[in-house]
Amino acid sequence: MVNIQLPDASLVKEYVAGNEDALAKLIKRHESKIYGFIYSKIPDRDITNDIFQDTFIKVIKTLKSNSYNEEGKFLPWVMRISHNLVVDHYRKSKKMPLFRETEEFSIFSIMSDDSMTIENRIIADQVELDLKKLIEELPADQREVLVMRMYQDMSFKEISECTGVSINTALGRMRYALMNLRKVIDKHQIILTN
Amino acid sequence: MAKIYSKKSLVSQTMKPSEETLSFLLNYSKALSIVRIKNVDIEIISN
């Protein structure tokens, strides 16, 4: 069966005519492009969600008030709205107090470079490598839960759905995974530090 | 745990807005109607 996709302009028309599903389709079709665009400018998920939301609030208001007249160019139009909102965001956040250097006050006295030195970075990489090797030694069920939780940032609810066990079992496996890791680390007197 | 040594995997980072954002937008759209009276747009949000 051929899957015919309605063009944006038709969906916009349907939405303006009162079909709310058309908006859901438009958002679904372009969400990753728009979200990715905003995230590429502001790498913060909460702010990106806020700007994505504000973008579509503007879209909804414009379409519902029949002020939209760029048929066929829906995505570039939405991108331009989100771009303007990103610019607004940076304008607002720039309004910060200005410090001037004087004899009594130097900006460098309150500023420091928190980035890791090369040595610290090498140590951190080594620690991570060692830890990965230790994780490989864990029983499969415990390793699975630990990797999902710590490396893939999944919630215990998501882990339980993915692995087909209860949340309590997933929690238990995580607990045993950590206990076993500690045991191995103590036994072999491995130093994980940075 | 005292320290977390793991790096967050980039694989799980999907470029999509949160479910809450999406459902808010769809509900907002359903609730909003705009009426134009003498060149003035009046927004009405129904509960």
- Locate tokens 């051929």: which residue? A2
Judge whether B26 lies within some domain. yes
Q: How far apart are CA A18 and CA A22, in angstroms?
A: 9
B47: distance to nearest CA of chain A, Å?
16
The beta-carbon neighbor of A32 closest among B3, B11, B16 is B16
Judge whether B37 lies within some domain. yes
Q: Please indicate, yes or no, whether residues A23 and A90 belong to a single structural domain of this protein.
A: yes
The beta-carbon neighbor of A49 closest among B5, B14, B21 is B21
Judge whether B2 lies within some domain. no
Averaged pLDDT score across all residues of chain B: 80
CB A105 within 8 A of CB A55: no
For residue A19, pLDDT beyond 90? yes
Q: How far apart are CA A5 and CA A97, in angstroms?
A: 51
ipTM of the predicted assembly exceeds 0.85: no
Number of domains in chain A: 2
Within 8 A by CB and 6+ apart from A65, the residues are B34, B36, B41
Q: Which residue of B has its CA nearest to A131?
A: B5
Q: Which of A24 and A73 is assigned the larger pLDDT?
A: A24
Judge whether B3 lies within some domain. no
Q: How far apart are CA A11 and CA A28, in angstroms?
A: 12
Return the structure tokens found at A170: 């997933």
For residue A170, pLDDT beyond 90? yes
Give the number of other Cβ atoms within 10 Å of residue A87's Cβ: 11
How many H helices and E strands in chain A? 8, 0
CB A60 within 8 A of CB A16: no
How many H helices and E strands in chain B? 1, 2
**pLDDT tens column, A78-129:** 999 999 999 999 888 776 555 666 777 776 776 667 777 888 888 888 888 8
Least confident of A67-71, A125-129, A137-141, B31-35: A67-71
Q: Please indicate, yes or no, whether residues A18 and A88 belong to a single structural domain of this protein.
A: yes
The beta-carbon neighbor of B34 closest among A32, A61, A178 is A61
Judge whether A154 lies within some domain. yes
Which pLDDT value is given to residue B11? 44
Which pLDDT value is given to residue A194? 57
Which pLDDT value is given to residue A132? 87
Q: What is the mean pLDDT of residues A134-139?
A: 90
Distance of CA A60 to the CA centre of its chain: 25
Return the structure tokens found at A158: 């998501």
Q: Letter for the amino acid at A134?
A: L
Q: Which of A95 and A154 is assigned the larger pLDDT?
A: A154
For residue B9, pLDDT beyond 60? no
Max distance between CA atoms of chain A, in angstroms, equals 77
Q: Please indicate, yes or no, whether residues A119 and A86 belong to a single structural domain of this protein.
A: no
Q: Which of A56 and A153 is assigned the larger pLDDT?
A: A56
Chain A neighbors of B45, CB-CB under 8 A: none
Q: Which of A141 and B9 is assigned the larger pLDDT?
A: A141
Judge whether A159 lies within some domain. yes
Q: How far apart are CA A23 and CA B19, in angstroms?
A: 15
Judge whether B10 lies within some domain. no
Q: What is the mean pLDDT of residues A54-69?
A: 92
CATH of the domain at A152: 1.10.10.10
> In this complex, do B43 and A61 lie within 8 Å of one another by their Cβ atoms?
yes
Which pLDDT value is given to residue B3? 65
Number of domains in chain B: 1
Q: Which of A42, A44, A46, A49 to mutate to test the interface with B (most CBs of B within 10 A)?
A: A49
Q: Which of residues 1-47 of B touch A (CB under 8 A)?
A: 1, 3-9, 11-12, 14-18, 20-22, 24-26, 28-30, 32-34, 36, 41, 43
Using DSSP's 3-state secondary structure scheme, residue A41 falls into: helix
The whole domain housing B42 covers: 17-47
> In this complex, do A192 and B3 lie within 8 Å of one another by their Cβ atoms?
yes
CB-based contact, A39 to chain B, within 8 Å: yes
Last-in-domain residue among A34, A63, A94? A94
Which pLDDT value is given to residue A5? 83
Q: Which residue of B has its CA nearest to A64?
A: B34
CB A16 within 8 A of CB A10: no
Judge whether B47 lies within some domain. yes
